[in-house]
Structure formats: structure tokens, C-alpha cells
Amino acid sequence: MVKLGVNVDHVANIRQARKSVEPDPVYAAMLAELAGADGITVHLRHDRRHIQDDDLRLLRKQVRTKLNLEMAADDEMCAIAASVAPDMITLVPERPEEITTEGGLDVIGQQKIIRKTIDKLAPLGIKIGIFIDPDKNQAQAAQDIGVKHIEIHTGIYAKSKGEHQQAELHKIIKVAELADSHGLEVNAGHDLTYYNVLPIAEIPQISELNIGHNIIARAVLVGMEQAVLQMLKVIQRAGS
């Protein structure tokens, strides 16, 4: 059955809007775990627009399932990751002007820096993966570079409709099949909602979905535990 990783970045977004102490993303993570989440995901960005260094350190102490750190592949983030030792790292692209991550990391074009990051962190026993677009060439490059998992970017699928959405779903399926055949763990995420997640959850090769914004948006209205439970109920239909 597909697992659910809950991204709590947007809890920190609300807090940082007022430079306050609430809501606390660490507390939100604990509530998500109590509701049945299989892991917690955070993205520590260079501009610290949401998750802060202290959040990451506290999450490392408090998370009882799995802590997945999304980060750029550079020296600053490598040093932080090495000091915190999350359970897994997902390398993502990052641009200062973007509202949120807009696509997958170009593994083919950035092999040198990605290999440097892997060489620094893999000896620490941290499982390292890459966030990629649903592109077979990128999946093959990720496998060649030696990562343990990929996360397929589902943003275009999520924003599409009709035949275009079905075409994007087909791309995701094919990349998931290819990566799985090479022994990579396959995750997926970005812009997934209660209404579009099921076809992704039904892909047999996908083992985990990472979902943030839509869960946090609902949590504002119904509470964190209820929002997570509702998402779990939807994705668990994939196994029925």
C-alpha cells in the first residue's frame, strides 16, 4: 500500500507571515504522525522563507517515522544535512524567484554537483534521492548516478485536465516502471490534492506520496489530524 509523507512547509509559511512562533511546524508534524502519516517532509530553502534551521533540528529529535529533507545540492545544505542526519534526502532544484519548486532537477545537466553531494552524504548512511520530471532520460541518469530513490514531479499532471492529464499520467507511469525495474524506490508528489491523487496512488511502482499544500490548506479548516486522515482514506482506496 502506498505510504503518505506529509510536508509541513506551509505551516511554517503561515508562521513566517507574521514572524511569530505559531503555528509550529514541529507540532504539526507530530499531529500528522499521530494521524497515521508515514513520514514528514520539509524543504530547507536558502532564503529560509518557511522552514528554519531550528525547525529542522527539532524535527530530527521529534519525528518518529521518517524525516525527509528536501534541499539544493550545494555545500551549505550538505553541511546542514550532515549535522542533522535526516533519514533521507531528496535533492530538488531551487530558484529565489519561484513561489514553490517548479519542476524536477536536471540530473543530466548537473551531474557533477549532484555526484559531489552524494559523495559527501552517502557515507553517513543517509538515503539520497532526486526530484525529477516524468522523463525517462532523467530517470535513467538518476539511476546511473547512484541514488536510492526518485520522486516524480506530478505538478503538470495535477494542473492538467482531460486528455492532457491522461498523457501526463502515462508519462509518470512509464517513468515509475523504468525506475522500479532498475531497483530504485519510486515516490511522487507536487500539487496533489484529495481530488486528483487516486490515479497516482494506483500506480503499483509508487511507494510513497509526498503531499503538503493541500493537506495544510484543509488542516486550516478541519485540523491537522483530520486533514491527514482524510488524505489517507483517499489514497488507501488504491489498495482496495
- Per-residue pLDDT in tens (0 to 9) along the chain, 240 residues: 899 999 999 999 999 999 999 999 999 999 999 999 999 999 999 999 999 999 999 999 999 999 999 999 999 999 999 999 999 999 999 777 666 667 899 999 999 999 999 999 999 999 999 999 999 999 999 999 989 899 999 999 999 999 999 999 999 999 999 999 999 999 999 999 999 999 999 999 999 999 999 999 999 999 999 999 999 999 999 976
Give the chain's domain count. Answer: 1
Instruction: Tell me if the pTM is above 0.85.
Output: yes
- Host domain of residue 74: 3-239
Residue 27 is given by DSSP the state: H
Structure-block grid coordinates of residue 198: 487516486
Q: Do 212 and 6 meet the contact criterion of CB atoms below 8 Å apart? A: yes
Cα gap 70→89, rounded to integer Å: 6
Identified catalytic residue from 10, 153, 190, 208: 190
Catalytic (active site) residue 190: yes
Q: State the CATH number of the domain containing residue 227.
A: 3.20.20.70
Identified catalytic residue from 10, 33, 43, 50: 43
Cα gap 134→154, rounded to integer Å: 8
Catalytic (active site) residue 164: no
Catalytic (active site) residue 46: no
